[in-house]
Structure 1
Amino acid sequence: MPEIAFYKDKFVDINDTVVPIQDRAHQFGDGIYEVIRAYNGKPFYLEAHLERLGNSAEAIQIALPYTLDEIADICHEAIARSTILEAEIYIQISRGTYSRQHHFPEATPPVFTLTVKEARFISSEKRTEGFRVLTTEDDRWKNCYIKSLNLLPNVLAKQKAKEHGYDEAVYHENGTVKEGSTSNIFAVKNGLLYTYPPLKGILHGITRKIVITLAGELDIQTKEEPFSLDFLYEADEVFVTSTSLEIMTVKQVDDRLLPTERPITAQLQAHFRQLK
């Protein structure tokens, strides 16, 4: 099954496409991105992802080169061309190509890129066993709600977790738990679901929002409020969410093993599967 690429205004061979040296995404990380999962050939919560893409573009003053409806059409065509049923769509928009200068170039069109590839597969054994997560101090900028290309702190945190034998890094700020390097995080305590509120300091995850909606349908109360590392260590259940991971059980936080009974996580996972 071929990987598919769309660059600027047409579909191209993914192996032949060359991004200009002076593209601002290349030189400054001056752009935004979005990742969308497709199940059985259908993009999942596409409208919500594209709405967030538009919000990110507005936040950093990039004019979208296409309407959201036109981007949706490109996504559908890319999936059809790829013939990949279980796919991951990656969209990137840079401010454009121009001689290197820090302030915005004038009258430079943004550059739109899209790729489709097979989705990452996580075994059922791993999903049942769960992730090990390593906490780390949050050293990112303050506008993490923008899905920008400036991900070096996330890369370093993820690498630190990997080097220590963990699956994910979880950010905290002075002991207050915020989110993972590539995920949002939830904790369960006494039947209640806790997660950091949707402020500027975290990414407003689409799967995060789906989980909160599902929790409401299951009469599980969600508290969107800050909680501490100690609270996380003592939680009855912990899980992380993202487009790629869906709802991933956490079995260990730092050196603390968590309970193996995870009834609320299991309920949410089961109802999430029904949406696909």
Structure 2
Amino acid sequence: MPKIAFVNGSYQTINKPSIKIEDRGFQFADGVYEVIALTNGVLIDLNFHLDRLNRSLREINIEWPTAKEAFNAICAEVIRRNRLVHGSLYIQITRGVSARDFSYPKGLKPSLIIYGRHSQENQNLKKIECIKVITTQDIRWDRCDIKSISLLASVLSKAKAKNKLAQEAWFLNKDGFITEGASSNAWIVREPNIIQTHPTNSSILSGITRLRIIRLAEEQAIKVIEKPFSLSEAKKAKEAFLTSSTSFVQPIIDIDGTQISNGKIGLTTKKLLNSYLKFMG
């Protein structure tokens, strides 16, 4: 399969991208990004992702690097050149290139990188993988609602989870509540057809799959509670799951060594997963 990326105005093979050493994304993590799932050649919830990208750019005062029409055309061309059918599209926008300094001059031209990743033809949709999570202190900054490319806390937390033979880490804030995962939103099932997740504020990223699951749940008369929950509540939950653009809806069967849902996917989680897969087509 070809591996071609769009990098600041040109299409390049992914192993030879031209990125300036003094790009502020490279030196300061001064930028934002999006990851969009692709199924049957269609980008899932594209408009929601672009709305969130627009908000992230606005919050850190970076201009759009292209007009919307040109941006959409670039995304389509990256998909075409890479012959993407199933997978994901990665979009990164940084403030641009300038001499290394914490402050930055006005009028910088933002850098834009877009590339795609293949996945097996819907095999990940057919196989349900139940996972384990650990909890760890939330050491991130106070603007987690911005999808920043500064991901060191998540990198370290994922490594910690892997060392403990888990697949995800849930962040615990100073008040003892779970905010979200290192790369996902966190959910519990309190009772059949009653699900709970942290409300959207500066403590979490407003996940696109999270938003879609809320809408799908409401269509099925599943009550959604947007309220923080504690580690104790999570361990006592009937079920638990996470959501993200690449994991979709993934059941959790172990939290810090405590078995959840008898070690298998629960009925409410399975119902939501099936609804999401149907939505994706």
TM-score w.r.t. the length of structure 2 is: 0.94
The 5 Å alignment of 1:192-203 reads 192-203=194-205
Provide the rounded CA distance (Å) in 2 between the counterparts of 1:14 and 1:107: 28
| Cross-structure match for 1:89 | 89
1:22 alignment partner AA: E
RMSD: 1.5
Q: Is the 8 A contact 1:207 1:243 kept in 2?
A: yes
The 5 Å alignment of 1:41-190 reads 41-119=41-119, 123=124, 127-128=128-129, 130-173=130-173, 174-190=175-191
In the TM superposition, what is the alpha-carbon distance from 1:122 to its structure 2 partner? 7.1
Deviations 1:231-273 (A, max 9, x none): 0000001000000100000010001001136111111111111
| Cross-structure match for 1:239 | 241
Q: Is the 8 A contact 1:37 1:119 kept in 2?
A: no
Aligned residue pair count: 275
In the TM superposition, what is the alpha-carbon distance from 1:126 to its structure 2 partner? 6.3
In the TM superposition, what is the alpha-carbon distance from 1:18 to its structure 2 partner? 2.7
1:86 alignment partner AA: H
Q: Is the 8 A contact 1:178 1:202 kept in 2?
A: yes
Of residues 253-262 and 94-103 in structure 1, the stretch that sits farther from structure 2 once superposed is: 253-262
Q: Is the 8 A contact 2:252 2:265 kept in 1?
A: no
Deviations 1:216-241 (A, max 9, x none): 00100000011111100000010000
In the TM superposition, what is the alpha-carbon distance from 1:73 to its structure 2 partner? 2.0
Provide the rounded CA distance (Å) in 2 between the counterparts of 1:122 and 1:242: 17
Aligned sequence identity (%): 35
Q: Is the 8 A contact 2:251 2:265 kept in 1?
A: no
Provide the rounded CA distance (Å) in 1 between the counterparts of 2:69 and 2:144: 25
**Structure 1: runs of 5 or more not aligned:** none
| Cross-structure match for 1:270 | 274
Pair 1:33-2:37 in alignment: no
Provide the rounded CA distance (Å) in 2 between the counterparts of 1:91 and 1:206: 15
SS in 2 for 1:169: strand
In the TM superposition, what is the alpha-carbon distance from 1:20 to its structure 2 partner? 1.1
In the TM superposition, what is the alpha-carbon distance from 1:47 to its structure 2 partner? 0.9
In the TM superposition, what is the alpha-carbon distance from 1:157 to its structure 2 partner? 0.5
In the TM superposition, what is the alpha-carbon distance from 1:16 to its structure 2 partner? 1.8
Pair 1:223-2:225 in alignment: yes
Q: Which runs of 4+ in 1 moved over 6 A?
A: none
TM-score w.r.t. the length of structure 1 is: 0.96
Q: Is the 8 A contact 1:142 1:201 kept in 2?
A: yes
Deviations 1:14-53 (A, max 9, x none): 2221311101001000001000111011111111111111
1:18 alignment partner AA: S
In the TM superposition, what is the alpha-carbon distance from 1:123 to its structure 2 partner? 5.0
SS in 1 for 2:50: helix
Provide the rounded CA distance (Å) in 2 between the counterparts of 1:73 and 1:125: 31
1:261–1:77 CA distance, 2 compared to 1 (3 A): closer
Pair 1:18-2:18 in alignment: yes
Provide the rounded CA distance (Å) in 1 between the counterparts of 2:114 and 2:265: 41
